[in-house]
Each structure stands twice: as C-alpha cells, then as structure tokens.
Chain A
Amino acid sequence: MIEQFLQTTLEFFKEIWFQLNSRFDLENTEAFNLLKPYLIQLQDNPLYMGISIAALFLVPYTLIKVRSISKEREHKLDELMEEMEEEEEEYDEDDPRRLRRPESTTENDDDDDTAKPLFGANEVDSSSHGKTLDEDETIITDEELDEFELEPSYESEEASNSEAKEEPVSSLLAESDFDKEMNEFMAEDLDLNEKGEDEDIISQLNLDDTSHDQAIKELQDEGELTELEEEEAIPENDPFSNYSELDEDEQDKAIKDLQDEMERTINQLTQQIEEPNEIPNSMKDMSQIRIGGDATIDQEYSADEEEEEYFLEDSPEPDAKLQEVSSFSEESTPISELSDSEILASLEPELEAEEAEAKSELEVPDTHDYEPEVTSENFTFEPESDIPTNEPVITSESFTFEPESTQSEDTTEQSSYSMEPEEELSSPEKTDSLIDRLKFLQTRFENRYQPLETNSPQTPIAKKTPDYVPESLAEPRRYTRSTASVPPDSKKYMDLLESFIFMKDQKKHK
C-alpha cells in the first residue's frame, strides 16, 4: 500500500518533471547539468534520497511552525494586554491595584485606543512594568554602592529619595537617572583621584584582579609575539635557521643549548608549580615590581644613577601605599613585605655579584627578567600629572608595555630565546608563559631541519620542495568533440543515429 502510494507519488513528480522539461527544456540548462550527478546519486542512494526529502519537507515545515508559534504567542500577549487594560480601566485612578499611574495613562491617552497596534500596546505596557523593575534595580544598585562605602554618595541618595518621592516617569528615564547617578559616582571617584590622595590605591580599587590579569596576559601575548618575530628576524644568531647546513658538532651544540634551555624552562615551571600561591595576583605583582626593580638595578645592569636614585627615593612611597592597600587586603601585604625585606637584607654587594655571575651563567632569562620592571616602576610613578591615573586600563598597559620594548632590545643583544616578563607576572600567568615557552622550544626542536619561517601558516612547508612536474605527463592532448549531445526528441538525434548506422558511401537510401 505504502509502496503503491510512493510509486504514485513518484509518477506524479515524474509527470511534473516531464511537463516542465518538455516546456522549458530544463535538461539542457547548465544548472541541471551541474545538479545532474548529485540527483543521480540521490536516486541511487535511498538514504540520500530520504534525507533530501526530509530536508525538503521538514525545513519549510519547521519555519512555518516557528512562525506560527511566535504569532500565537504574540496573539496571546495581545489578548493578555487587552485583558489587563480592561481590568485597569475598572479600577479608580488612585487604586493601588492599578499598575499604571495617572500620569502615564494621561500621557498615553492619545494613543490608547482599542484598535491600537500590537507594538504600541507592548511599549506602553513594558514601560509600566519596566518602571517597577527599574525602581527595584536602582534600589539594589544603591545598596550595592553603599556597600563599598568609599564615600557617602549624597547625590545618589538624594536622587533615590527624589525618585521615591517623585512618580516614576518611564523606564528610559529611570535608566538615564541611574546612568546619571553612576556618572556622578564615577565623577566623585575622579575627584578623589585628582585630589591625589593615593593613585595606586584608587587604580587598584578600580581594577579587579581578573581584568588586571587579563590585561597583563594580553600584553604578555603581545610581548611573546614581538619576541618571536625578533627571533625570526635574526637568523644569523639562530643556529636552527640553517640547521641542516651546520656541522655535526655545531648541530650537537645547538641541540644541547636548546635542551638546556628546555630543561631550565621545565625547572622554572616545576618551581613555579611547587611555589605556594598565597598572594593575590595583583598585589603580588605590585610587590614584585618594586623588589625586582631594586634588585636588578643594583646587581646586574647598573642602570642610570638617576633612576637608581629615583627608585631609592621613591621606594618608601610604595611601601606607604602598600600599607594603605593592606587595609583592603590585610592577608596579602605582610607576605609581600616579608619577601621584600628578606631579599633586601640578603642582598649584600659581594654575594650579589657572585649570584649575578652564577645566574648569568646558568640562567640567562632570570637575570633578564628583572630588567623590565625597572622601567615599569619608572613609568608608574613618573608621569603622575600626565596620565590620568583613574583609568586603570591605561596604567596597566603602560605598566607592562614599556618593559617589553627594552626587553626586546636585550633579546637581540643577547640572542637568547627566553620569555622575559615572567617575573612580573602572577604565578598562573607565569606558568602559562613557561608552558608556552616550553612548547615553543619543543616546536623548535622538532622543526630544527626547517627554519621557523617555513612553519608560519602563510608559507607552507611544502613550498620548500622543488616543484618538479614531468613535462611529458603534463603535455596537453588534443581532443576535439565532433558532435554535441542531442536530445532524443529532435531531428538531429535521428540524423545522428543514421550517421552511426550507415557508412559514408551508403547514401542510396536517401
């Protein structure tokens, strides 16, 4: 039965197709020729056919269904709105059960017809509902803001009071009020910053840990990229750029260096993992910056005296700031201070020199890591007046961006493959960067027979292989088509058949 039905359906579709084809000659169109192999495949494979038929019917059906559902809902909403309006009309103006206030109703009186379009009704209603919601939101936000208790926001309170007294106008207005309050609140913060009580505290307050970390991570990524680019740009120092051309000894040496580098990275990584993560990232970073800055200037690079002096002079300031910060995060600061004092106490000039030598021999990246922090410190404190410190993003950017520029210079000088800004990062980022570095080194090791440029996605490795195409195989062969395909209902087809049946000299039958 089903089969008969299917066959009848098939016949029906065939008939339609025959009719269309005979009228429009569809089979000779380019589109049909394109589709033909797929159609044949469909015809051959019942699975494909089933899928295509299902798609053919299900997709429009789904669309229609979705539209009908949405229409139904709209209709229901309309009905609901109308019901509500009718109910409201029954209440008195002062009735508390009435959702809409007299003002809003009077405002909408002009438009308030029964034959009003759907969206008009929705707007009115949503405003009336939204109003109450917005009121709640403003109260909540006010409460939330009060929780911070940075400074009593009189204006906001006034605003909320005035709002409570005043009758709500619309959700939009309420929103704008809220924005206004927020702006005022922010303005107060700005004022505070301008007064110069403490820039860092404010900036830290404005910065939550996640945003800070993210900003650092982004910049770290940028730093990595620039570093890699620079590494690729100096192939003469890079033994892997022409690895295959090197002698065996040189190759061994290069591999050994790379392996050492990898070992070092792994050690750092394990150290990093073992290290307890006690301090909140942002606070730890700040503390590390100061410590690192001092240590590097004194020990290894002997930077400009002015800078040294500057940092020595300014070094109490951060401590003071830290103390202030400690009021917000009491647990974290003692550790940072302890580490400060420990390191400062242990850094005697002789030992420092020895350590520096040992470090420079063993751990090139470590000595390098402290260096950028000098500039970061420098930058953070120097341009107080120039840079608006109330914008956390800018400070964070300037905080890490500058060191990288100097850092990249150093990388070119030392031609090391280290990822410098590890020390100034918080431990998770440090770990990430170390992992990245390890990956990078591994890739380098694996691809040592090919320069790094070939690994870039723009230039595939296959390009290096010579493009040898045997000419004899690629030589074009002649093919001239004497006759084109002819539809069987044409006279040409018959002529063609005749031409195939009879020979050239057999023309007597004509």
Chain B
Amino acid sequence: MTNPINIIAVGGGKGGIGKSVVCTNLAAGMALSGQKVILMDTDFGASNLHALLGITNPAHGFQDFFNAEITDPRTLLLDTGISNLKFVSGAGDNPGSANIDSKNIATIISFIQRLEADTILLDLGPGTNYNVIDFFNISTQGVVMTTPEMTSIMKTFSFIRSALFRRISLAFQDFPEIQKVVDHSNPNDADMESYTTGLLRSKFAEQFPEQTDRLDALINDFTPGLVVNRVRNRKDLMAGENLLKLVKKFLEVEVTYLGYIIESDRVRDSIDEMIPFLIKDPQSKPSENLQQIIGALTNTDLQFVKRDGRIFVSKQVRLSSGWEV
C-alpha cells in the first residue's frame, strides 16, 4: 500500500500577498527535509514561479499539458537545483490562457494526480474563480494565505467561502436544486439567500433534509490552514485571528492556524536574488517562521542550519498527533 500523495494548494483571494514566495519556500523546505516534492505553478496566465527559482527559459510549460506528443508526464518536471525538488512550470501562457475550460482543468488535475511524489505543492493564482478554486479543492491540505490588511482578510474569507461552496456544489452535482442553492455563478437561476453555512444548513434542513449529514461532513472535512504573511506586530497577528473568528462564525469551518511570516527585507532580497529565503538564510526570522509552518503541515519539527554554504537539516517527527488519533 502506497501512501496517498499529499497535495498542498496555497491560495488566497488577493494577489500580491506572497503566495508564490511562500509556496516556493515551502517546497524547498520540504524537499530539503527529505520529501520528494513537486512544485507546480497553476497561476495560468501570470506564472512566475520559475523566476523565483531562477529557471530561465524553461524547457516545458503550461501549453505542454495539452500536447498529445508528451506521453510521459515526467518530461514536464524541471530540475530546480534543489535536491528532491522538481518543478512544473506554468510558463508559456499566452494572453487569455487563464480562461481555460473545465475540460482542460480536468486534464491538468488528472496530470497532477498521476505524479509520483510525496508532496505536490500547487501555487494558485489570485481570485475566486473556479479555475483557481478547483485546484484548491483537489488538495489534501489547503493553505490560505492572507496579509494583515482588512482588504486581504475580506478576500481570504471570500476565498474560503467560495472554496467551501464549490466543494459542496461539486459534491451535489447530481442535485440541480441543491446547485441553485450553493452555486451562485448564475444569479438569475440561483437562490442567493444562502450565503453562509448557517443559512445553507437551514435551507438544507428545509428543502433537502436527507442531505444534511452529507453537507455537515463536507463542511467538517473542509479544514484549510491559514498563514498570515507580512506580520509586523501583534496587531497584525490579531487580524489573522479575526479571520478565523469570521470563518468560524459565518462558515462554521475550523481553519487551522499554521503560522505567520514576519515582514522582512530578506524575503524581498531573496526574490531579487532568485533564491528561496529558506535556503539563502535558513536562520533568519522569516525562515524560522516558515520552518514552523512546514512543521505544522508535516507534523515534524524542522531546523535548518547553514554552515560553509551547506544546509543541514535536523528533523524530529511529532508523535503526539498520531497517538491522539
């Protein structure tokens, strides 16, 4: 029996909150800790992960997903220079290529699910359209990111709600009446009154009582993690807590707080230098923050040390969570 692939999708409603940077560093950290990791850029139409990794003129990119000539998906995996880390680029996206249809989305999803790796990390694009949300929903561990600004909090809330409602919608694809309640993509044909899980539950209780258990299971299974990026002070951390409260109150979803990353020039410098900050300076504060997040995602305690240009990783597996189960 092989372990199922751990797919981690990093998303968030707002653009520019550091999804790609964090995703790259998570991938690098996990790869350095010994996992076979594939990092995938699913921000079609505006891909940039290859730039963060310093990969110039990638040999394969987004368009190759739909190329019939490529039969072996392994050819799409690019070397990153980091041991255990492969990369699937989204480069080669032409204008308008973000608007791929559901069929092509399904092709990509199937491609992802066929990949052989311990962990696949998906860097999602901004927004809450289905092309983004569907990738988020195929993940075994969704990570939503936010920054402390109120606008970012709002968008992340919307992202979580969209992801949840999309998940429910996909789960009840065969129930058009339910679709009207949960899918608001067509307002003329939708029941717009159920915009929170509480209202949805009551609607289900009224109209589809036999499906309430399934609905509850879907809601309960939806446990994204939250990372607050660019934190400067405790007030900023509080913004993350407010998001958790908000999601709990209106969506009844338990969001796992994975950690935060402080605002630092080191992060920006690492982008300019095209080296993940975890590798460039593993003992810096943002790197420590990131190690904690990786630890929370993988149930391990990681510690990265850089000496004479070489990185040493100490890894301790947390057993407590296993016994609890």
**Residue positions of A touching B, CB distance < 8 A:** 3-4, 7, 14, 17-18, 21-22, 27, 44, 487-489, 493-494, 496-498, 500-502, 506, 508-509
Main secondary structure on chain A at its contact with chain B? helix
> Which among A44, A487, A488, A509 is the interface contact of B199 at CB below 8 angstroms?
A509
Q: A44-B265, A508-B199 are in contact. List 5 more A-B contacts (CB 8 A).
A: A18-B234, A488-B239, A488-B242, A509-B196, A509-B199
**Residue positions of B touching A, CB distance < 8 A:** 148, 150, 153-154, 157-158, 193, 195-196, 198-199, 233-235, 238-239, 242, 245-246, 250, 265, 283-285
- Does B250 contact A494, Cβ atoms closer than 8 Å? no
- Does A509 contact B245, Cβ atoms closer than 8 Å? no
**B153 / chain A contacts, CB cutoff of 8 Å:** 497
Nearest-neighbour CB distance to chain A for B111, whole angstroms, equals 35
**B234 / chain A contacts, CB cutoff of 8 Å:** 14, 18, 21-22
> Which among A17, A44, A497 is the interface contact of B154 at CB below 8 angstroms?
A497
**B150 / chain A contacts, CB cutoff of 8 Å:** 496-497, 500
Task: Return the 8 tightest CB-CB contacts between A and B, nearest first.
Answer: A488-B238, A509-B196, A18-B234, A488-B239, A489-B238, A7-B285, A500-B154, A488-B235
**B250 / chain A contacts, CB cutoff of 8 Å:** 501, 509
Nearest-neighbour CB distance to chain A for B34, whole angstroms, equals 25
**B238 / chain A contacts, CB cutoff of 8 Å:** 488-489
- Does B154 contact A508, Cβ atoms closer than 8 Å? no
- Does B158 contact A501, Cβ atoms closer than 8 Å? yes
**B196 / chain A contacts, CB cutoff of 8 Å:** 509
The number of A-B residue pairs with CB atoms under 8 Å apart is 50
- Does A494 contact B283, Cβ atoms closer than 8 Å? no
> Which among A18, A497, A498, A502 is the interface contact of B233 at CB below 8 angstroms?
A18
- Does B242 contact A502, Cβ atoms closer than 8 Å? no
**A18 / chain B contacts, CB cutoff of 8 Å:** 233-234
> Which among B198, B199, B233, B245 is the interface contact of A494 at CB below 8 angstroms?
B245
Which residue of chain B is the closest to A509 with respect to CB atoms?
Answer: B196
Question: Could you pull out 5 A-B pairs where Cβ atoms are within 8 angstroms?
Answer: A3-B283, A17-B233, A498-B246, A500-B150, A501-B158
Which residue of chain A is the closest to B196 with respect to CB atoms?
Answer: A509
- Does B235 contact A27, Cβ atoms closer than 8 Å? yes
**B284 / chain A contacts, CB cutoff of 8 Å:** 3
- Does A494 contact B246, Cβ atoms closer than 8 Å? yes
A501 to B242 CA separation, bound complex (whole angstroms): 13
**A497 / chain B contacts, CB cutoff of 8 Å:** 150, 153-154, 157, 242, 246
**B148 / chain A contacts, CB cutoff of 8 Å:** 488
- Does A506 contact B233, Cβ atoms closer than 8 Å? no
Q: When A494-B246, A509-B196 are in contact, do A501 and B154 touch as well, CB less than 8 Å?
A: yes
**B283 / chain A contacts, CB cutoff of 8 Å:** 3-4
Nearest-neighbour CB distance to chain B for A43, whole angstroms, equals 8
**B265 / chain A contacts, CB cutoff of 8 Å:** 44
Q: When A4-B283, A501-B154 are in contact, do A487 and B235 touch as well, CB less than 8 Å?
A: yes
A494 to B153 CA separation, bound complex (whole angstroms): 11
- Does A494 contact B158, Cβ atoms closer than 8 Å? no
A151 to B312 CA separation, bound complex (whole angstroms): 99
- Does B235 contact A489, Cβ atoms closer than 8 Å? yes
> Which among A27, A493, A506 is the interface contact of B242 at CB below 8 angstroms?
A493
**A17 / chain B contacts, CB cutoff of 8 Å:** 233
Which residue of chain A is the closest to B238 with respect to CB atoms?
Answer: A488
- Does A509 contact B198, Cβ atoms closer than 8 Å? yes
Which residue of chain A is the closest to B151 with respect to CB atoms?
Answer: A500
Nearest-neighbour CB distance to chain A for B269, whole angstroms, equals 12
- Does B157 contact A501, Cβ atoms closer than 8 Å? yes
**B245 / chain A contacts, CB cutoff of 8 Å:** 494
Nearest-neighbour CB distance to chain B for A225, whole angstroms, equals 59
Which residue of chain A is the closest to B240 with respect to CB atoms?
Answer: A488
A68 to B154 CA separation, bound complex (whole angstroms): 58
Q: When A3-B283, A17-B233, A501-B157 are in contact, do A494 and B242 touch as well, CB less than 8 Å?
A: yes
Nearest-neighbour CB distance to chain A for B161, whole angstroms, equals 9
